[in-house]
């Protein structure tokens, strides 16, 4: 703990201000922010099939904005464990009409697209002014992704995943969980830095190639990722590490999500990727207030 000049001790869950160039728009992260999930998929684990027509998609985007999310993350394929990889053609057919309507109605919204495909990343930035790319594979599923991101000059979210969605939960093993993930990110960040990419966001990938115990170890040691000096995003929302452990279902996992998001924020998370924006914003507000109390540690 550092004594500040006014002799007040701060336990700040957020000690570094990040600024991301989102395709010409500056996103300043001076305290944690929220990314609202908009799944236009028929098979996502929680809300699959809920947003299939344009009116429902636009209503969901409006809800995310109204509840205070700084970013809307739009995904056209489900990365749930065991899920099948969507073809390039199908992903475009789902994603592009939705993006066209969202961008037309919400021209000022900061949009992220959840895709591992370089071709889609390039086209959504060019055609729909998408502001950032969220890649669950960190370039592992498309060899052209890093070069594409370097050309696009938009923020890039790298997620750690061991294996692929179809197989990642089939007995994942690590000799040293944190060491392996740290080395993974170190190599990726170094390579992208050499390519001129600096606007990076790290996502440790809760539930992606990790057992229940792996997930909780990762959460407990989340603060270790501060060494990279990059924004840290966590996606805990209604995941199986909550509902399976509590012997319930995703529909009943909001309370657990809020509990784990609180822990993540106290351990250095900068972006919460969530289904429930209002509750996440309230969590950030309350922790921010707590952080203002003298002597909180």
Q: In this structure, are residues 156 and 188 in contact, taking their beta carbons and an 8 Å threshold?
A: no
- Measure the CA–CA gap between 238 and 236, rounded to whole angstroms: 6
The phi and psi torsions of 33 (rounded to 5 degrees) equal -125, 175
CA atoms of 65 and 69, how far apart (whole Å): 6
Known catalytic residue at 239: yes
Per the structure block, which two tokens stand in for 63?
């809800």
C-alpha 78/C-alpha 287 separation (Å) is: 32
Cα–Cα separations (whole angstroms), residue 194 to 157, 180, 189, 197, 291: 17, 22, 9, 7, 37
Q: Exposed (0-12), middle (13-18) or buried (19+): which is 185, by Cβ within 10 Å?
A: buried
- Among the options 10, 60, 230, 239, which is catalytic? 239
The yes-or-no answer on residue 273 being catalytic is: yes
119 membership: H or E segment, kind and range: helix 118-128
Q: Which of 238, 273, 278, 281 is catalytic?
A: 273
Query: Which residue numbers are catalytic?
Result: 239, 273
């Amino acid at each position: 703990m550092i004594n500040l000049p006014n002799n007040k001790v701060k336990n700040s869950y957020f000690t570094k201000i990040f600024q991301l160039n989102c395709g010409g728009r500056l996103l300043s992260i001076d305290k944690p922010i929220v990314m609202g999930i908009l799944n236009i998929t028929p098979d996502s684990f929680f809300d699959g099939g809920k947003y299939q027509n344009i009116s429902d998609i636009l209503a969901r985007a409006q809800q995310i904005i109204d509840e205070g999310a700084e970013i809307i993350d739009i995904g056209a394929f489900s990365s749930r464990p065991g899920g099948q990889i969507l073809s390039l053609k199908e992903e475009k057919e789902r994603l592009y009409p939705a993006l066209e309507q969202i961008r037309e109605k919400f021209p000022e919204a900061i949009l992220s697209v959840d895709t591992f495909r370089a071709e889609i990343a390039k086209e959504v930035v060019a055609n729909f002014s998408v502001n950032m790319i969220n890649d669950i594979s960190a370039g592992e599923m498309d060899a052209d992704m890093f070069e594409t991101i370097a050309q696009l000059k938009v923020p890039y979210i790298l997620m750690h995943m061991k294996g692929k969605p179809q197989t990642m939960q089939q007995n994942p093993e690590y000799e040293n969980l944190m060491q392996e993930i740290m080395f993974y990110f170190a190599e990726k960040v170094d390579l992208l830095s050499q390519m001129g990419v600096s606007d990076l966001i790290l996502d440790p990938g809760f539930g992606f190639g990790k057992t229940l115990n792996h997930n909780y170890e990762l959460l407990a040691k989340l603060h270790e990722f501060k060494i990279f000096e990059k924004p840290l995003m966590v996606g805990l929302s209604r995941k199986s590490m909550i509902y399976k452990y509590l012997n319930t279902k995703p529909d009943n996992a909001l309370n657990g999500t809020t509990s784990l998001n609180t822990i993540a924020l106290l351990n250095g998370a900068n972006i919460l990727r969530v289904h429930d924006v209002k509750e996440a914003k309230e969590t950030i507000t309350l922790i921010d207030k707590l952080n203002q109390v003298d002597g909180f540690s």
